[in-house]
Structure 1
Amino acid sequence: MDRALINAFVHQQDIGNRVNGSFTSKALENVVNEVLEKFPGVKLDKEKVKNRMKYIKKGFAACYDIFKNISGIAWNEDLSMWEAHPDVWDDLIKKHPQAAAWRNKPIPNYHNLCLLYGADRATLEEAETAREMRERIRSEQEESRANTIEEIDHMVLNDEVRLEGYDTPPNAEGRKRAKRKVTLVEEVTSVKKSFQIAADAIAKVAAEMVKIQPATDTVKSQEKSPVSKSEIWKLLEELELNAVELHKAYIFLIKNPEMLDGILSCPSSELSERRDLLFEMMK
């Protein structure tokens, strides 16, 4: 039933019933009907379908996040398992103890789950990176303000400037010197304020880019691909990619038809050159 459920969601995604990463109400209705065709008599509705997929996605995400960038491990499509030399497994489990659960355990429907949620995991990583950048900028702003206050305190302690209640210097030269010192404090404060404004603007643009990115990806995914998805998969298999590279490249090409057209139009017949071209595009 899980396989039928996942296949039904992939079908709804392929026909455009997923908008901005979310399946439409019509898509959920179609999924229920598709599963019931294969399993008549089962009590099933939209809410049960959504809850089951949340559970499946949670398990997939835990697995995907561990294996996505690991070298030395290959995906066995026939067994639906990750395979590697025992030493590679041992090293991986030291870094990620939870990986031990999949050392001898199949991961059903992994390929289709990558199609459904692989791009979501990548988007989540980008959003997290942007969030960290905003936190760094905010921290730098606070440090900048603290430094300004410390500089002014230092100048006051050294009698370089008085911020209030200071006596009028006895001569014109003294007045000029005091004025010059006050002006310096104002300039320092003004410059740092300008940096703070620029940093705030950068953070705002970064936040907007994170909001816009999923919508942009959706537009790209709706462009017509020059070949079918099964043909894309076969093309990538011919390039002799490992399992992780294969999954990432597949998701990349179905979302970027213009890049796929570039691969198909490549005049070179050498597989190594086509593979290098693909990796360069994916950068």
Structure 2
Amino acid sequence: MLHELATGGKCRQIIRMSENAFMILCQKLESDGGLRSTQRMTIEEQVARFLHIIGNDFRNRFVSWFYYQSGSATSVHFHRVLNAIISLEDQYLIQPTGDTVQKQIQEKRRFYPFFKDCIGAIDGTHIRVKVPSKDAPRYRGRKGYPTINVLAACTFDLKFTYVLSGWEGTTSDSRVLKDTLTREDKLNTPDGKFYLVDGGLPLKSTLIAPYRGVRAFGVLKRRFPIIRSTTEPFYSYETQSQIFLACCILHNYLLEVDYDRELEDEVAQEVLNATQDVEDHAPNAMDDRGEQIRESIILLGLWKLTVIQFLYENKLAMSKKDGTSTRFHWTTPMDTAFLQAMITKKDNGNRIDGTFTPQAYTNMVEELGKAFGMDLTKDHLKNRLKTLKDHFSKFYDVLKGNSMNDFSWDPSTKLLGAEEEVWEKLIKKSPEAAKWRDKPILHYHEMLELFAKDRATETPDSQAKYPSFSKSKKRKLEKDDEFTTTLMSSINNVADAIGKSTKDLCKVMEGSRACVYSEEEIYKELEIMGIVSEEEIFDVYLFLVERPEKARALFGCPLNKRVNMLRRMMGA
């Protein structure tokens, strides 16, 4: 492999760095990281194989097969290099002192002097991990699979200065940030300086929001696909967390000795265009008919908004005509923002004995009013808080007494999931629980974080404090429900009409679409090739499923040449 790196001109493709940067890294890992050659493998070979794995997201079994080495030996050498790289953390993850203005700010008039006291940006990302089934609900957040929530700070030259990984995927970003500011190895902010943060994080004198231009994660994940993959990792939760830290250290090292302007420009363009990583999707040649489909989808969204506006304004006009008034209507985005605001205030200590402080309400009224352009009051927030608590109590009281770890919430379907025996036991105990098997629950994790503790300590008397509705108010609510039903029915009718025309366009597009092999077809083709054992076939299968263009190229070759082609693909 070392000969291939030196003479094949594929060094950057295989190990994600130049030959010169690779040799310097090996010397540094030997002198500063304590890495040593073994009886059968040199330092260069160990480091090259480690970089080959993290730079291509290869499994242990495949690498062992590829290099004709046992699985245990591959794992041992991988962890030796991993530990050696992490030992360089103090050299490459250095928090800024704020003594000087960063070059990227000082040299641009639109930034200087306005951001002269800014020392970097903070953002978070989710990395998929493998955890035991009993722990999966704590890690399965908005992604739908177990992840860890990683928070990092970086400078404007894309160097990471602080990394905290390990929090469960269900943990809110604000809670992770609070930990970074209070733990022993905390994130430091010099006096008079500040960080730019994402809009989902709390606003402080040292944290200015919103900022959505962080590109460091994009460059990092493009360079090291092992932390970008959405398939279940081979390595344990702890090792995957260490791998992310090691990738950040290598990223900073390469910015110093092997700067890749082309890679950074690609990520910058994706951020500006709000596009997805091209390697995560099959190629799609969009022609005029594709543009028509896109316009139809946009048209569908515009029609939905038009119907909503028409029916709602008609409702207001009818109310004014007959002298009645309409109550304040909360939308799902408003609930999302309100719940996140309450979590932030709670994390900041503005919720005492389950009650928000007057200043917290004042701040939330101002924040939500500006965000949605509405004239909100403190009473609006208090009334909505009571309603949200009431919604939460309806399903929480049914589940209370059972282990919440037995249930997981699917963010795509909004449904609670559990093993069949768990549901049967619960329904036998509380028949009303049956409806929660197929009834969506919005904002599950947010409400659990805000209300679970209060609900668990409430007495029957305190639970009875929620107001009951009078008959006249019930009739009013029923009318509002009729309006909502009519509204959604009208929207669906419009959506169906546009959807039918869109399907016709999609059928036309199928004829010009590049061939895409299904998962079943890929597996059958690999069996026909007969080149890998049952254990090894899964690694090749996952490799091709994630790279549809390589699957097309491989299966387009004559059968007798596919083995060599596969080795070339996975070696590059």
Relative to the length of structure 1, the TM-score reads: 0.40
Structure with the higher helix share, 1 or 2: 1
Relative to the length of structure 2, the TM-score reads: 0.21
| Bigger relative contact order, structure 1 or 2 (CA pairs below 8 A, ≥6 apart) | 1
